Structure 1
Amino acid sequence: MYLIAIAWAYVALMMAAAEATSPQGSLLGAAITLLLYGILPLGLLLYILGTPGRRRRQRAAALTAEADAGSHPPAGPAQGLAPEREEA
Protein backbone atom coordinates (compact mmCIF):
# COMPACT_ATOMS: atom_id res chain seq x y z
CA MET A 1 0.00 0.00 0.00
CA TYR A 2 2.73 2.45 0.92
CA LEU A 3 4.77 1.68 -2.20
CA ILE A 4 1.95 2.97 -4.40
CA ALA A 5 1.59 6.09 -2.26
CA ILE A 6 5.33 6.82 -2.33
CA ALA A 7 5.50 6.34 -6.10
CA TRP A 8 2.49 8.59 -6.68
CA ALA A 9 3.90 11.26 -4.38
CA TYR A 10 7.18 11.15 -6.31
CA VAL A 11 5.39 11.56 -9.65
CA ALA A 12 3.24 14.42 -8.35
CA LEU A 13 6.31 16.14 -6.87
CA MET A 14 8.17 15.84 -10.18
CA MET A 15 5.15 17.27 -12.02
CA ALA A 16 5.07 20.22 -9.64
CA ALA A 17 8.82 20.75 -10.02
CA ALA A 18 8.49 20.71 -13.82
CA GLU A 19 5.65 23.24 -13.58
CA ALA A 20 7.67 25.52 -11.29
CA THR A 21 10.85 25.45 -13.41
CA SER A 22 9.13 25.73 -16.79
CA PRO A 23 9.44 29.13 -18.54
CA GLN A 24 5.64 29.25 -18.92
CA GLY A 25 4.99 27.79 -15.46
CA SER A 26 4.52 29.47 -12.10
CA LEU A 27 4.79 28.62 -8.43
CA LEU A 28 1.02 28.93 -8.07
CA GLY A 29 0.55 26.41 -10.86
CA ALA A 30 3.06 24.11 -9.17
CA ALA A 31 1.21 24.38 -5.86
CA ILE A 32 -2.13 23.64 -7.52
CA THR A 33 -0.59 20.70 -9.39
CA LEU A 34 0.83 19.30 -6.17
CA LEU A 35 -2.48 19.74 -4.36
CA LEU A 36 -4.79 18.38 -7.07
CA TYR A 37 -2.53 15.60 -8.41
CA GLY A 38 -0.72 14.70 -5.22
CA ILE A 39 -2.14 15.51 -1.82
CA LEU A 40 -5.88 15.08 -2.42
CA PRO A 41 -5.69 11.78 -4.36
CA LEU A 42 -3.14 10.36 -1.91
CA GLY A 43 -5.29 11.29 1.05
CA LEU A 44 -8.30 9.61 -0.51
CA LEU A 45 -6.30 6.51 -1.48
CA LEU A 46 -4.78 6.10 1.98
CA TYR A 47 -8.16 6.65 3.64
CA ILE A 48 -9.86 4.01 1.48
CA LEU A 49 -7.03 1.49 1.77
CA GLY A 50 -6.81 2.04 5.53
CA THR A 51 -10.49 1.22 6.14
CA PRO A 52 -10.00 -2.51 6.84
CA GLY A 53 -7.30 -1.75 9.40
CA ARG A 54 -9.47 0.85 11.13
CA ARG A 55 -12.38 -1.61 11.30
CA ARG A 56 -10.10 -4.32 12.69
CA ARG A 57 -8.78 -2.00 15.42
CA GLN A 58 -12.32 -0.83 16.23
CA ARG A 59 -13.57 -4.42 16.61
CA ALA A 60 -10.57 -5.33 18.77
CA ALA A 61 -11.20 -2.31 21.01
CA ALA A 62 -14.88 -3.24 21.32
CA LEU A 63 -14.02 -6.83 22.26
CA THR A 64 -11.48 -5.61 24.80
CA ALA A 65 -14.02 -3.22 26.33
CA GLU A 66 -16.63 -5.99 26.38
CA ALA A 67 -14.27 -8.41 28.13
CA ASP A 68 -13.18 -5.67 30.54
CA ALA A 69 -16.73 -4.58 31.43
CA GLY A 70 -17.26 -6.93 34.38
CA SER A 71 -13.85 -6.65 36.02
CA HIS A 72 -14.02 -3.02 37.19
CA PRO A 73 -16.34 -1.36 39.70
CA PRO A 74 -18.85 1.07 38.24
CA ALA A 75 -17.59 4.58 37.69
CA GLY A 76 -18.76 6.98 40.34
CA PRO A 77 -17.75 10.38 41.62
CA ALA A 78 -14.04 10.81 42.16
CA GLN A 79 -12.77 9.94 45.62
CA GLY A 80 -12.18 12.92 47.89
CA LEU A 81 -14.07 15.45 45.79
CA ALA A 82 -17.21 17.18 46.94
CA PRO A 83 -20.26 16.80 44.73
CA GLU A 84 -21.03 19.74 42.47
CA ARG A 85 -23.69 22.14 43.75
CA GLU A 86 -26.60 23.18 41.62
CA GLU A 87 -27.82 26.75 41.90
CA ALA A 88 -31.52 27.36 42.20
Structure 2
Amino acid sequence: MPIVAIGWIFVVVLMAAAEALSPQGSLLGAFFTLLLYGALPLVPVLYILGTPARRALRRAREQMAESVGAAPGAESGTAQADAPAHRSGAQPDA
Protein backbone atom coordinates (compact mmCIF):
# COMPACT_ATOMS: atom_id res chain seq x y z
CA MET A 1 0.00 0.00 0.00
CA PRO A 2 2.80 2.52 0.58
CA ILE A 3 3.66 2.41 -3.13
CA VAL A 4 0.16 3.63 -4.00
CA ALA A 5 0.47 6.51 -1.53
CA ILE A 6 3.90 7.43 -2.89
CA GLY A 7 2.56 7.37 -6.44
CA TRP A 8 -0.42 9.52 -5.48
CA ILE A 9 1.80 12.09 -3.76
CA PHE A 10 4.10 12.12 -6.81
CA VAL A 11 1.19 12.89 -9.12
CA VAL A 12 -0.12 15.58 -6.77
CA VAL A 13 3.32 17.22 -6.53
CA LEU A 14 3.52 17.29 -10.33
CA MET A 15 0.04 18.83 -10.46
CA ALA A 16 1.08 21.48 -7.94
CA ALA A 17 4.28 22.21 -9.88
CA ALA A 18 2.26 22.64 -13.07
CA GLU A 19 -0.10 24.98 -11.22
CA ALA A 20 2.77 27.05 -9.79
CA LEU A 21 4.68 27.31 -13.08
CA SER A 22 1.68 27.97 -15.30
CA PRO A 23 1.23 31.57 -16.52
CA GLN A 24 -2.35 31.51 -15.18
CA GLY A 25 -1.38 29.64 -11.99
CA SER A 26 -0.17 30.83 -8.61
CA LEU A 27 1.70 29.54 -5.60
CA LEU A 28 -1.48 29.77 -3.56
CA GLY A 29 -3.23 27.54 -6.10
CA ALA A 30 -0.32 25.09 -5.92
CA PHE A 31 -0.57 25.04 -2.12
CA PHE A 32 -4.28 24.27 -2.23
CA THR A 33 -3.67 21.63 -4.87
CA LEU A 34 -1.23 19.91 -2.51
CA LEU A 35 -3.61 20.25 0.40
CA LEU A 36 -6.92 19.36 -1.24
CA TYR A 37 -5.71 16.70 -3.70
CA GLY A 38 -2.84 15.33 -1.62
CA ALA A 39 -3.05 15.49 2.15
CA LEU A 40 -6.78 15.59 2.84
CA PRO A 41 -7.75 12.53 0.78
CA LEU A 42 -4.64 10.53 1.64
CA VAL A 43 -4.73 10.84 5.45
CA PRO A 44 -8.09 9.10 6.06
CA VAL A 45 -7.38 6.44 3.45
CA LEU A 46 -4.02 5.57 5.04
CA TYR A 47 -5.60 5.59 8.50
CA ILE A 48 -8.35 3.19 7.45
CA LEU A 49 -5.95 0.91 5.58
CA GLY A 50 -3.60 0.87 8.58
CA THR A 51 -6.32 -0.34 10.96
CA PRO A 52 -5.54 -4.08 10.62
CA ALA A 53 -1.86 -3.48 11.38
CA ARG A 54 -2.67 -1.36 14.45
CA ARG A 55 -5.15 -4.00 15.64
CA ALA A 56 -2.59 -6.80 15.23
CA LEU A 57 0.02 -4.76 17.10
CA ARG A 58 -2.41 -4.11 19.95
CA ARG A 59 -3.29 -7.82 20.18
CA ALA A 60 0.39 -8.77 20.19
CA ARG A 61 1.07 -6.32 23.01
CA GLU A 62 -1.86 -7.67 25.01
CA GLN A 63 -0.70 -11.26 24.53
CA MET A 64 2.82 -10.29 25.52
CA ALA A 65 1.54 -8.58 28.67
CA GLU A 66 -0.56 -11.62 29.54
CA SER A 67 2.33 -14.02 29.00
CA VAL A 68 4.66 -11.94 31.18
CA GLY A 69 2.00 -11.65 33.90
CA ALA A 70 1.22 -15.38 33.79
CA ALA A 71 4.84 -16.53 34.04
CA PRO A 72 5.48 -18.92 36.94
CA GLY A 73 6.87 -17.18 39.99
CA ALA A 74 5.89 -13.74 38.72
CA GLU A 75 3.58 -11.77 40.93
CA SER A 76 1.36 -9.09 39.54
CA GLY A 77 2.38 -5.65 40.62
CA THR A 78 6.01 -6.46 41.51
CA ALA A 79 7.27 -4.00 38.92
CA GLN A 80 5.14 -1.31 40.52
CA ALA A 81 6.30 -2.24 44.01
CA ASP A 82 9.96 -1.95 43.00
CA ALA A 83 9.45 1.41 41.29
CA PRO A 84 9.81 4.56 43.37
CA ALA A 85 6.55 6.12 44.52
CA HIS A 86 7.54 9.55 43.23
CA ARG A 87 9.01 10.75 39.96
CA SER A 88 10.28 14.19 40.99
CA GLY A 89 13.73 14.94 42.36
CA ALA A 90 12.33 15.81 45.80
CA GLN A 91 13.10 13.37 48.61
CA PRO A 92 10.17 11.88 50.56
CA ASP A 93 9.83 12.75 54.25
CA ALA A 94 11.41 10.17 56.51
Distance in 2 of aligned mates of 1:82 and 1:10: 56
Aligned residues: 84
Counterpart check, 1:78 vs 2:84: yes
Provide the residue aligned with 2:47 in structure 1.
Answer: 47
Provide the residue aligned with 1:2 in structure 2.
Answer: 2
Determine helix, strand or coil for the equivalent of 1:39. helix
Using the TM superposition, give the Cα deviation of residue 69 of structure 1 relative to its aligned residue in structure 2, in angstroms: 1.5
Structure having greater relative contact order (Cα 8 Å, sep ≥ 6): 1
Distance in 2 of aligned mates of 1:59 and 1:10: 34
Counterpart check, 1:25 vs 2:25: yes
Instruction: Flag structure 1 segments of 5+ consecutive residues without an equivalent.
Output: none
Using the TM superposition, give the Cα deviation of residue 60 of structure 1 relative to its aligned residue in structure 2, in angstroms: 0.4
Sequence identity of aligned pairs in percent?
52
Provide the residue aligned with 1:12 in structure 2.
Answer: 12
Counterpart check, 1:63 vs 2:69: no
- Normalising by structure 1, we get a TM-score of 0.81
Structure 1 segments of 4+ aligned residues over 6 angstroms from their partners: none
Residues 27/72 of structure 1: CA separation in 2 closer, same or farther (3 Å cut): farther
